[in-house]
Structure formats: structure tokens, C-alpha cells
Chains A and B, each alone.
Chain A
Amino acid sequence: MLHITPIVVLVKRSDAVQALLPGADAYVAREVHLSGTDAHRLHETVDWSPEDGVLVFYGGTAGSTSVGALEFVRVDTPHGPIEVAVGFTPQGAVRGVVVTKATVEMKPWVLEAVAAGLTDHYRGLRPGGAPGGAPGGVPGGAAGIAGRAGNLAVYVAGEVDKGVARALAAYGAFYNHVRA
């Protein structure tokens, strides 16, 4: 039993929720159970299949007003998994990105990337195809901090880019387009 890759919590989920859904006083979990066809489409788009074929979005409201939604996305890397929380405004633009988990090995790389301004590069992005969409569907976080951070920080920024791209693709295709 002595064999577990240590994963550390960088930001608690509850803190990420408060940061990405500011002012919300009620929350709802919206589980989108993907059909085989839709799961295949998502996989073709961003090379990703959510766990059990279920996307989970968390919506927040303040009174009767929506303050947006967020999604936690896991990215498996050769160095272990990271988890990225991506928050959206009610208008569908990225409000913010928080890296919530990483392995012990990757933690300093993530902290360096975030200190170099990684998450600033995602603000305002919209799902591909929409005005302001990420060029080619790829958020430019890693490119944005290249030259201001070390190679490993830029590397892990590329993995965060993948998480944001997945969240954008999932949100754009499934958040408002499937009825409960």
C-alpha cells in the first residue's frame, strides 16, 4: 500500500467557487450525461473524455440572478494529474481560472506559472467559434508567460491550457444547449 503519487490541494474547491462565482448564495450542480455520439465529438475536439462520460457544471445565483458557472477539469500529465477550475460569466466568457490541485513535483512549477501571470491570459476567452474565442481553440497561457518563467513553469502552463481548452469546449457545446 506504499505507492500513491502525492497530490496536494493548492486552492480548496470551496475557495475556488467563491472566487469564480462571486456573490453567489445558492448553487446547483448540472450533470450532463453525454451520449456516445456527443462524447465522441468532445473527444475529437479536445482529445478528452470526462470521467464516466459526465460533465459537471456548477451554477451560482445571487437571489434570482445568475452569476455564472464553473467547471473543474482534470488533466493527466506524465508527472501526475492537475485540476483546473474554470469560471464563466453569465455571458459565457471566462471570468477566471484557478489551479486547484497538482502533484508535489508540479506544485512549484504551477506556483511559478501563476506568479508569472498565467491565469490573466484566460480572462475573457469564449468558446471557439464565438467572438473572442481562443485562436484555434487553444488558449495562449503557455505562450503568454514564455520568457517570463522557467521551462517547467511554461510546460505546466501548457497543461493548464489543455484544461481551459476542455472547459471551453464542454461549456460551449453542452452548458446551455441541453435541457434539464
Chain B
Amino acid sequence: MLYDLRRADVRVKWLVTGLLATLGLSYVFGAAMVALYAGFTPQSVAATYAGAEMSMPMPPETTMVVQRPMSMADFAGPEVHTVDTKLLIQDTHVHVPMYGLIAAALGVVVVGLSLPRRWALGLIGLLFAAPWLDFAGMWLTKLVSPRFAIVTIAAGWAMGVAYLIVAALAIHQMWLSRERG
């Protein structure tokens, strides 16, 4: 094949290395942001996306009041960051195109790797499927059941794992392999 990263011009290898390093940096800070705002457990992700909207309460026939005592500690407790439907629509609109471009860029790197065809197809499929499942998990958590938070967590990890596989293979084949040109 004409496009083989092992034997590519050093300028192409340098470009791919820069791309992988930049994406790796953004993934690290992405994970930090998730830790800050949503967490990595099914419970915390469900609390972020399902919120109170899951209950869909019917309004009472007449306005009614419920009173309960509060302490200052109740006000000082940790607050859960929530993503409502409007914000999730905005997030989906903003992030899905960017995820597509990232998957495409990593997919182009995969095409230049020396891999069995079915492995390459599987890896490219994973690069695109993970962000799809990530957002599918968020929407299902909000609209169907908090149990779907596990889909978002699994998909988030899958995105990270797919990146690491591509980065490790590319760096190895471009700079460390005995067969490199």
C-alpha cells in the first residue's frame, strides 16, 4: 500500500506524532473535566444526566405546600452538576461533529498502520462507535432509565482505550519498529 506509516516520510511521521500528542493532551484534560463535573461511577453519571426529570411528576390539582426543616449543613452540602435536556441538546450539537473529526483523524492514522484488514476495520469502527454510544448513553439515561449511565461510562473508557491503541501502534511502527523505513 502507498500509505504506510512505517515507511512514510519523516515529515508525515512528525505530523502524526504531533496530532497524537495533541489529542492525548486533550483526552487527559477531558478526563479531568469529567472527574470534576460528572464523575466516573454509574451513580454520579446518572445524577448528572437523569436529574429530576426522570420522575416527570404530574402537577397537583391545587397548589400545595410541603415544609421541612433545614440546617446550615444542608445548604453547604456538595451540589450535583446536572445537565438538563436543553444543555444536552447543545452539548450534542457542539461535541458530536468534533468527535467525528477526531475519529476521522485517528482513522486516517489507522489506515497507515500495518494491521490485518479486519483489525483495522474493527479499530475504525470502535473510534466512531464509542462517541456514538457515549451520547446514546446520556440520552438514554435522561429519557429511559438511569441504568444507561453505564453505557456512557463504558463508551468513555472505550474512547480512551481506542486512542491508546492507535497511539501505541503508531508510535511503535513509525519510530521503534525494525521494519520502519
Contact = CB atoms under 8 A, between A and B. Distances in A.
Interface of A: 1-7, 9, 12-14, 17-18, 26-36, 38-39, 51-53, 58, 76, 80-81, 174, 178-180
Contact of A13 (B34, B76, B152): B76
A180 B76 contact: no
A52 B55 contact: yes
Interface stretch (B4-12, B67-75, B108-116): B67-75
A2 B52 CA distance: 22
Nearest to B86: A76
A180 B90 contact: no
Contacts of A34: 59-60, 63
B60 A3 contact: no
- Between B31, B53, B76, B94, the greatest number of chain A beta carbons within 10 A of the residue's beta carbon is seen for B76
Nearest to B64: A33
Contact of A33 (B31, B60, B155): B60
- Between B31, B68, B70, B83, the greatest number of chain A beta carbons within 10 A of the residue's beta carbon is seen for B70
B81 A7 contact: yes
B52 A31 contact: no
A35 B65 contact: no
Given A1-B156, A2-B30, A14 B59 contact: no
Contact of A29 (B52, B55, B70, B81): B70
Interface of B: 26-27, 30-31, 33-34, 37-38, 45, 48, 52-53, 55, 57, 59-72, 74-76, 79, 81, 83, 86-87, 90-91, 94-95, 134, 152-153, 155-156
A35 B30 contact: no
26 contacts: A1-B30, A1-B38, A1-B155, A2-B34, A2-B95, A3-B94, A4-B33, A4-B38, A4-B91, A7-B81, A12-B76, A17-B72, A28-B69, A29-B67, A29-B68, A30-B67, A34-B59, A34-B60, A35-B59, A35-B63, A38-B63, A52-B53, A58-B75, A76-B86, A174-B63, A180-B66
Contacts of B76: 12-14
A4 B70 contact: no
Given A26-B69, A31-B67, A51-B52, A17 B75 contact: yes
Contacts of A2: 26-27, 30-31, 33-34, 95, 156
B65 to A, nearest CB: 4
Nearest to B30: A2
B91 A178 contact: no
A39 B61 CA distance: 11
B57 A52 contact: yes
A19 to B, nearest CB: 12
A179 B70 contact: no
A52 B67 contact: no
Given A13-B79, A17-B75, A6 B63 contact: no
